[in-house]
Amino acid sequence: MSDLVEFVQNEFIEKKEFPKFSAGDTITVYYEIKEGEKSRTQFFRGVVLQLRGTGATKTFTIRKMSGSVGVERIFPINLPAIQKIEINKKGAVRRKRIFYFRELTGKKARIKEARRS
C-alpha cells in the first residue's frame, strides 16, 4: 500500500526546486493570493521553527513578529501557490525544532548567524 502511495506522489505531484534551509534560518516565502478574480503576490518573512515530514507531505513552520504579536504560519513544501523562497540569513542553532524561541523576547530572541565556509 505504501508503495502505491509513493508512486502516486512521485508521478502526479509536481516538485519545485527550493534552496536548502533548516531551523533557525530567516527566509522569505513569496506566495500567490487569489481574491475573487484578482491575484497578487504576498511575502512572509520570518524564522524557520521546524521542518517536518518527508517527500510530498513535507511542511515548514515560520514565525515572524507583527508589532508585538508573534505570527506563525505552516507552509506545505508542495503548495502550488508558493512562487519562490529566499534565504535571508543562515542561523546557528543546535536543535531541529526551536519551539523555545516562542518564549524569548528582546536580545535573547536573536539567533547567531552561521559561519559560511
Residue 96 counted as domain residue = yes
Residue 91 counted as domain residue = yes
100 CA to centre of own chain = 17
* Best CA proximity match to 79, nearest among 28, 9, 35, 13: 13
98, burial (CB in 10 Å: exposed 0-12, middle 13-18, buried 19+): buried
Residue 60 counted as domain residue = yes
CATH code, 26: 2.30.30.790
Residue 62 counted as domain residue = yes
The pLDDT value recorded for residue 6 is: 76
The pLDDT value recorded for residue 106 is: 86
Which whole-number Å values give the CA distances from 92 to 24, 31, 80, 101, 117, in the listed order?
A: 6, 26, 30, 13, 13
What residue numbers bound the domain in which 99 lies? 2-103
Residues whose CB is less than 8 angstroms from the CB of residue 14 and which lie 6 or more positions away in sequence, other chains included: 78, 80
Chain segment 12-26, per-residue pLDDT in tens? 777 778 899 999 999
Question: Per the structure, how many domains does the chain have?
Answer: 1
Chain segment 64-114, per-residue pLDDT in tens? 999 889 999 999 998 889 999 999 999 999 999 999 998 988 899 889 998
Chain segment 31-77, per-residue pLDDT in tens? 999 999 999 999 999 999 999 998 778 999 999 999 889 999 999 99
Residue 109 counted as domain residue = no
